[in-house]
Amino acid sequence: MPAVHGQRVIEADPAAEIALAQTLATRCTQAEIMVQFERFSRHDGVVDEMMRRVCLRAMLRACGDGVRVATQVGLRHPETMSLGDGVSIGMQTIIQGRFDGRCRIGQMTWIGPHCFLDARDLDIGDHVGWGPGARVLGSEHVGVPADLPIIATDLRIAPVRVHDWADIGMGAILLPGVTVGRGAIVGAGAVVTRDVPDYTTVAGVPARVIGRRAAAPADHAGRVDMETV
């Protein structure tokens, strides 16, 4: 069975959509545009989907053509986010940014339903598959001093990077500061605590290298230790 999303042909969005987004961005506040985004997030349909896209283009730092956003998607600080051409975001996914943060999702990347993205310092490359329910955390409390509740201690924000062509399995979790290499596969339910090398497959809790993709390009060839990542 051939791929569906990965084989999409992206066409330029209609000029009328782009003009409407520019009008909203000029005349409305972010809060007002968000109200409309949430209004059109309740139902499927041609008009609802178009208006979600219009609102996104008016709010985001950058928004490519052919973006698809399903119903009940939640965004916090969308002004810090960039979406490439052909990005698809599944139903009830939450993307939580920060007022001084940065989030980029590259072209043709597919984000499944029911995902949580801590988007305070997040970069997801091109043609990435992000399975349903997969999550990424970009911050953690330092936990010291011990005479304070952990949630009252300082917060450490660490960048998370997922390179082009990677695939994140259903229910996987990426912890703060990790990088997933180009063409790597993270198995379903894996908890990634360390960097994942290019073109490797990891699985488990914590995730470990369990294999290497047979078709890895020659310039990425080399021995990969079977270590915890």
Neighbour-count burial of 139, counting CB atoms closer than 10 A to its CB (0-12 exposed, 13-18 middle, 19+ buried): middle
Q: Which two tokens stand for residue 197?
A: 């090398």
Q: Which residue has the tokens 């009940």?
A: 72
Cis peptide before 145 (omega within 30 of 0): yes
Q: Computed over its alpha carbons, how large is the radius of gyration of the chain?
A: 19
Task: State yes or no: is 141 an active-site residue.
Answer: yes
- Select which of 5, 114, 141, 220 is catalytic: 141
- How far, CA to CA in Å, does 103 sit from each of 38, 70, 120, 191, 200? 20, 19, 7, 21, 25
* Short-list 16, 117, 102, CA closest to 61: 102
Say which DSSP state 106 is in: -
Kindly list the catalytic residues: 141
